[in-house]
Amino acid sequence: MQNHNVGSTQGWRTAYLVLTHTDAAAVVRLVAAIRRSSPRCVVIVAHDARVQPPPAFADEHVLVWCHGLATDWGSWELVEATLGAVAQARAFADPDFFVLVSGQDYPARHLGTWEDEVRAAGGGWIGRPRPLRYRPTWGRRPGVGDDDLTRYSFRWWPLPPAVARMGRRFPERARHGAARVRDAVLLRAAPVVAVRFVSRGRGAHLGLPRSRRALGGRVFVKCDQWIAFDRDLAAVVLRDLAAGMPLRRLFERSIIPDESAIQTALHAVEPPTIPHPVSFVRWLPSLDRPAVLTLADLPELQASRSPFCRKVSSGHSADLLAALDDLVTGAGAR
């Protein structure tokens, strides 16, 4: 574990890196809430402008950066945009601490108070990583462990969209039968080939295992994309995932790298100082996505002690957002 230079209380500055692609009004409200709760901070809005133009800010502590990347769900470009936002923040303000959030997050605690807690803990990084271990087996029995490891231990290629659509013109019964045959074949061949469908991202992918030499004995972790880390670890991340570096080349040909690339680089240096999520999420397993939070989630949200929560929307979460504004920086904060 390395020693971290966390600076003085007066000199401490945090950069909040907000990855956005839509709903400019919600992003403007989020940034204003962050700035009210942490007046010394800077905010970098890293915006994917394919759907909507970026929001505008008059605040000199807010930088809007349109990165020009197609940050589809589960893509390498999400990691690349995050790395770019870290570099933008370093050039803009040389902050002591970096916090990654989405445009659908919202402060759930007074951020200045939370930053004091982080500094007192010694900096480092914040997140809840889970080391991935998996051993595939031949035959009809599933492998042992978590096969999410193959996201990173295999090398992946996107399949043409036509491949994923091939069976749609056949009757439903025939499609189900073909799917069973496909799954049976892939189960038996798990050590040497895999197919994954990134449903919210870029569709079907074909994967082949990497050599042990390429993997280099790395321990891959899975962790939420929204994490935080200090200045020293930001330098490690930018170094280890720079263009041409082995770790970057590996993750460029993975699937859903935003849940592992930066986190694996951090975990290789040290475990998290605070092993808790930066953002509280209520997950919907049946839909495989986070719920849109409402006022009913407030007690659980407060108990989590996470500084942010997600997902929120201006409509469904209106009462919750008003309550959080009051608790964090309004009358309820006093």
Distance CA 121, CA 11 (A): 16
Q: What is the pLDDT of residue 130?
A: 97
Q: What is the pLDDT of residue 186?
A: 57
Domains and CATH numbers, the chain: 14-130+219-333 (3.90.550), 134-215 (no CATH)
250-282 pLDDT, tens digit per residue, is: 999 999 999 999 999 999 999 999 999 999 999
Cβ atoms of 216 and 108 closer than 8 Å:
no
| Mean pLDDT score, 194-218 | 86
Collapse the DSSP code of 189 into the 3-class scheme (helix H, G, I; strand E, B; otherwise coil) and give the result. Answer: coil
| Mean pLDDT score, 65-85 | 96
pLDDT at 283 over 70: yes
User: Which residues fall within 8 angstroms of residue 265, CB to CB, at 6 or more apart?
Assistant: 236, 237, 240, 241, 247
Q: What is the pLDDT of residue 169?
A: 54
Got the DSSP string for 82-146? HHHHHHHHHHHH--SEEEEEETTEEE-S-HHHHHHHHHHHTS-EE---EE--EE--SSSS--EE-
* pLDDT interval class at 288 (50, 70, 90): confident
Alpha helix segments (H runs only) across 126-216: 150-153, 161-165, 172-188, 212-215
90-120 pLDDT, tens digit per residue, is: 999 999 999 999 999 999 999 999 999 999 9
